[in-house]
Structure 1
Amino acid sequence: MNKFKFYFILSITTVLLFSCSKNSDTIEAVPLRDFQEQFTAENVMIESYLKTHYITITNALGDQTDQDVVFTKIDNNQPSVYSYLTSTSGPKLYTREVQLHGITYSVYYLVLRQGTGESPSNADNILAAYKGYYLNQSDSNDLTTLTATFFEESKFPQSMFSLYSDVIRGWGEIFPKFKTGTLPSEGTNGQVVYNGFGAGVMFLPSGLGYYSSGSNSIPSYAPLVFSFKLYALQRLDQDGDGVLSYLEDLNNDGYAYSYLNTTTYPVVPTNYDDTDGDGIPNFLDVDDDGDGYTTKLEITKGTDYLDKNKHP
């Protein structure tokens, strides 16, 4: 009897497994949305949010709440965030163009305070506090259903992260537009206090965020809003050649890019930070001038490591 029951259960399980396997073979992968079409649609959402909300800023030098922000829907002729595009004082709204996925993203970012220290490159580590929201419409045809949903906050950051490898692309594009502050001090409650730091808000289309994959509670194709405070930075040397990566930014634009991924960069610019033209940017190239001698060796020997005609 027990033996019969065993084989009966086994046969039923086999049928179910086969059925599941067969059904899984029929599942079709959903193709990615067109990058340009998606950005165009999301930019409408972002601009609508900027035009229908105002911002309240906490000014409290020496306190952890300094430059905290709150977004509120306009209800009594308050100045919209979008109006700061043309403001001559106070917060200033800018746009930055980013070439990615074969299109040009126009990214809005709000400068609350520029900062008094140094600006990171997109190849550096930074220490930053932040608060994040994602934008969503319950009705894709009705902008009045647009909402901003909180998903994450880091008030007291304890460790640095790389703008090049640890975070979404949008952070690497916007943080270099700000500066760090002064050296930290200890506040009255024992917390570390930063002063003079850069503070702002970035409004990122999903193409510079998580796009189709989403992340944890963030749905796919969701534009992101981050308020942030840039406390400190650490210069990195990605290729270990003895030259800090930000110094290998030959055109001094504050950014270092690698165009080896042709899916991400179907169009490669002709003028970027690549001395020997081998397709590997200097900040990732152990032999910047392509002469067969490593940059590190040429620096050690006192040779011009960007001149392929000079050797150790």
Structure 2
Amino acid sequence: MNSKKVILSLVLATMALISCNKDDDNNGPAPVPDRDREEVKAESDSTITAYLETHYYNYEEFDNPSEDFDYKIRFGELKGENADKKSLLEDVTVQEINFADVNYKLYTLVVREGEGKQATYADSVYMNYNGRLFNDERFDGSVTPLWFNLPGVITSNGITGTVPGFANGVNSFKGASSVSLNTDGTLKFSNDYGIGAVFIPAGLAYFSGSQGSIPAYSSLIFTMEIFDVIENTDNDRDGVPNIVEDINKNKILRDDDTDSNGTPNYLDIDDDGDGIPTREEIIINADGSIEYLDTDGDGIPDYLDADS
């Protein structure tokens, strides 16, 4: 499967699958409404915690790596001769992400944090990944490292980017401390890059939308290696970094649209829709610091204030 079609072709989790037929023409089945998000959340939590309680990762190989160790995460069941190993539940960290008015638990396994630049959900990262369902069926993955713009870019098919759970899992890691460019355009990096996994509830994945071999309402597992990070990514090049465009601070950029024009702020060069480009309503100093002007003193910076 083409990796970009799965990771980069994000179906917005808040979008229902709607039939093209009108309700009154009787030419097809009626649209099926989304299931209740809280109900799906409870199912996802049960699936994820059950997996974490009954599985382990190859931490012993990471603790004492052999010369030929590939630094790849492998999961196994806690049974037989492996029954006494440490469960994943003992190692994961949990962060709460509010999306579509529901508080979700996102579970992240940090095997190695990394020693380089800090990744955030708003940045572009150079990485490897592998995606699996909770029945261990692999649905996607990269063979060689790829650049991912985590929040997404505008294409002919709309905004494409990673699902919220993936982007917020990546922000637990850093890249390698040393990164250089090879003659073929690929990157060479030191062996201190971030390594881990994220366990994503359906509500922070594709929810009611199916993707290839991923059924609707599926929780997902991604293992990942983070090699390099473009810090303070600014998709629309308006001078305001993506992460600052997260106005409501919910770690999701697509629901911040100050002028309600359908284009989220991080992709909008005129965030407040007043006809003055955002770049002209801020000051970028020589040292790179940014001053957010508020000429009318109402507590709202000019670039977000249509009547400033």
TM-score by length of 2: 0.68
CA contact (8 A) 1:61 1:195 kept: no
Aligned equivalents of 2:265 and 2:273: distance in 1? Answer: 10
Shift of 1:51: 0.6
Which structure: greater helix fraction?
1
Out of 285, 293, 305, the position equivalent to 1:306 is 293
Q: Secondary structure at the match of 2:56?
A: strand
Q: Secondary structure at the match of 1:246?
A: helix
Provide, for residues 246-270 of structure 1, a one-character-per-residue CA deviation record: whole Å limited to 9, x for no partner.
Answer: 355689x794634358xxxxxxxxx
- Answer with 95-104 or 114-123: which moved more: 114-123
- Answer with 70-79 or 43-52: which moved more: 70-79
Give the structure 2 partner of residue 268 of structure 1.
none
CA contact (8 A) 1:260 1:279 kept: no
Give the structure 2 partner of residue 168 of structure 1.
163
Provide, for residues 163-182 of structure 1, a one-character-per-residue CA deviation record: whole Å limited to 9, x for no partner.
Answer: 10121121121111211112
Give the structure 2 partner of residue 69 of structure 1.
73
Call closer, same or farther: CA 1:279–1:193 in 2, change over 3 Å.
closer
CA contact (8 A) 2:131 2:138 kept: yes
Call closer, same or farther: CA 1:196–1:70 in 2, change over 3 Å.
same
Out of 264, 267, 279, the position equivalent to 1:296 is 279
Find out whether 1:207 has 2:203 as its counterpart.
yes
Give the percent of matched residue pairs that are identical in Structure 1 and Structure 2. 30
Provide, for residues 109-147 of structure 1, a one-character-per-residue CA deviation record: whole Å limited to 9, x for no partner.
Answer: 111111111222222111111111112xxxxxxxxxxx3
Instruction: Report the AA paired with residue 280 of structure 2.
Output: L
| Max Rg structure | 1
Find out whether 1:180 has 2:179 as its counterpart.
no
CA contact (8 A) 1:288 1:306 kept: no
CA contact (8 A) 2:133 2:139 kept: yes
Give the structure 2 partner of residue 266 of structure 1.
none
Call closer, same or farther: CA 1:39–1:254 in 2, change over 3 Å.
closer
Give the structure 2 partner of residue 148 of structure 1.
136
Aligned equivalents of 1:29 and 1:238: distance in 2? Answer: 35
Aligned equivalents of 1:129 and 1:224: distance in 2? Answer: 16
Give the structure 2 partner of residue 7 of structure 1.
none
CA contact (8 A) 1:289 1:305 kept: no
Find out whether 1:130 has 2:143 as its counterpart.
no
- 1:219-234 aligned within 5 A: 219-234=215-230
- Answer with 51-60 or 34-43: which moved more: 51-60
Provide, for residues 147-173 of structure 1, a one-character-per-residue CA deviation record: whole Å limited to 9, x for no partner.
Answer: 32122221421x312110121121121
Call closer, same or farther: CA 1:95–1:304 in 2, change over 3 Å.
closer
Instruction: Report the AA paired with residue 199 of structure 1.
Output: I
Find out whether 1:243 has 2:240 as its counterpart.
yes
Instruction: Report the AA paired with residue 228 of structure 2.
Output: A
CA contact (8 A) 2:117 2:177 kept: no
Call closer, same or farther: CA 1:287–1:49 in 2, change over 3 Å.
same
Shift of 1:298: 4.5
Shift of 1:103: 0.9
Provide, for residues 50-89 of structure 1, a one-character-per-residue CA deviation record: whole Å limited to 9, x for no partner.
Answer: 11111114435997822x111111113222111x2xxxxx
Aligned equivalents of 1:308 and 1:211: distance in 2? Answer: 43
Which blocks of at least 5 consecutive residues in structure 1 are unaligned?
A: 1-22, 85-91, 136-146, 262-273
Aligned equivalents of 2:69 and 2:250: distance in 1? Answer: 29
Q: Secondary structure at the match of 1:233?
A: strand
TM-score by length of 1: 0.68
CA contact (8 A) 1:289 1:308 kept: no
Call closer, same or farther: CA 1:152–1:257 in 2, change over 3 Å.
closer
Give the structure 2 partner of residue 80 of structure 1.
87
**Bigger relative contact order, structure 1 or 2, given CA contacts below 8 A and separation 6+?**
2
Call closer, same or farther: CA 1:201–1:28 in 2, change over 3 Å.
same
Q: Secondary structure at the match of 2:92?
A: strand
Give the structure 2 partner of residue 116 of structure 1.
115
Instruction: Report the AA paired with residue 44 of structure 2.
Output: E
Q: Secondary structure at the match of 1:238?
A: coil
Aligned equivalents of 1:41 and 1:110: distance in 2? Answer: 21
Aligned equivalents of 1:249 and 1:61: distance in 2? Answer: 43
Instruction: Report the AA paired with residue 71 of structure 1.
Output: F
Call closer, same or farther: CA 1:216–1:281 in 2, change over 3 Å.
closer
Call closer, same or farther: CA 1:283–1:215 in 2, change over 3 Å.
closer
Shift of 1:290: 8.7
Aligned equivalents of 1:121 and 1:43: distance in 2? Answer: 24
